[in-house]
Structure 1
Amino acid sequence: MIDRYDWAGGQEAMLRFGPSNGPVVVAALPLFEEANRTRTFAVTLLRLLAERGMAGALPDMPGQGESLMALETLSFLRIQEAFGGVVDHILDEGRAAYALGIRSGALLDAHALASGRWHLAPQDGSDLLRELKRVHGSPWPASAARVEIAGNLISADLLVELEGKQPFAESVTPRRVVRLESDPRPADHQVPGAPLWRRSDPDNDPALAALLADDIAAWVRACEG
């Protein structure tokens, strides 16, 4: 179903999946140019979680998805605040919220009161910035107030904010990092599959989504005790 959440900057839409009670897995898609490559996959994953009795939510972040807010007016902190607003919405329902961050989406839950964080191939801000520069194809002027990257007008201040940003990894809440077998970086678990975010067009991988849904459902249940 379609729901909405409030945050300090207004109201945005989100898709809801699964049962109306119990914990909710809140998904954050990769930022900017990658989101269109993974949205279908994320919806498949959340539907598979629902089949496993686990509720999910896929919010539109301000300036992205179907949001009417101009991305160029936003700071990175404001986008993080919006994700925190989604989690607050879940908490107001009397339910626990678990963050599911895909790639740079793992950067969004740093200020959210999530009960745990499950990150797929998490990407830090510096790595994201390098990819944005590659997509842009040429250095942007130091004096530019905004930069157009893959059709997105992004505030130069937001791009500066990205440098040095890291996914939340404090021990105060559980965190699980899952990577593809082709990724040599440290992970709690590795799974077979191809990186959808590297493809030129949106795609889906139901087999990979099923593996991840099994892992997420088991992990959230273990966290809930």
Structure 2
Amino acid sequence: MQTFRNQIPRILSLSFITVVIGITIYKVRVLETVASPLIPFLLLFIGSYLLWILLEFKTAKSETQKGTRTADFGTCEVYALGRMLTLLSGLLFYDEWSELTPRHIIAFALFIAGFSFRLYAIHTLGRYYSHIVRKVEGHRIISSGPYRLLRHPAYTGMILANLGVTLFFLNPITVCIYAGVLIPAIIIRIRIEERTLYEIDGYENYARHRKRIIPFIW
């Protein structure tokens, strides 16, 4: 059972990519009938999102090599669901395709900044990063790069990137999913993750001098 759980991030990534590609192809065909000027920008946005998924796929693939002891309590699945539904609801329920606006450009910039910051944080953490909450043998505190300022910068990047998604496909359903599913899932996940992290020597002192995801606030 635990071996299957280690496969979940990989399965979710592949399933998500397949669904997003299918919906995007359908959406583009529909938009072609009204000659929407947003088609190229939509393809750029979705292409960038899929690139993000693929860049993280290596991490998801490596989960099978990190042992079976986890302390995740199912938050990986809820967190992934929130992320998926944020994008999918945007693709399905956004209907203002008449023109490219400054909002779309700002949203895309937020998205790129968010996923770039997340990948930077993941790269900095190296082998200690995991999509599933677990203790890694020989775990040590990383305090370089973005971890000099924040305890969970990868989640900061996730929040910022999906804020960009929400702003790009601005509609009530996507806003509700982002604020009501994804953000709470991240907060709960951080709380659970820190139960494990506080067992690591030096983490309590490290945490005392850094906020979790927002500098000077939380």
TM-score scaled by structure 1?
A: 0.28
- Structure with greater contact order relative to length (CA < 8 Å, sep ≥ 6): 2
**Which structure features the higher share of strand residues?**
1
Rg comparison, structure with higher value: 2
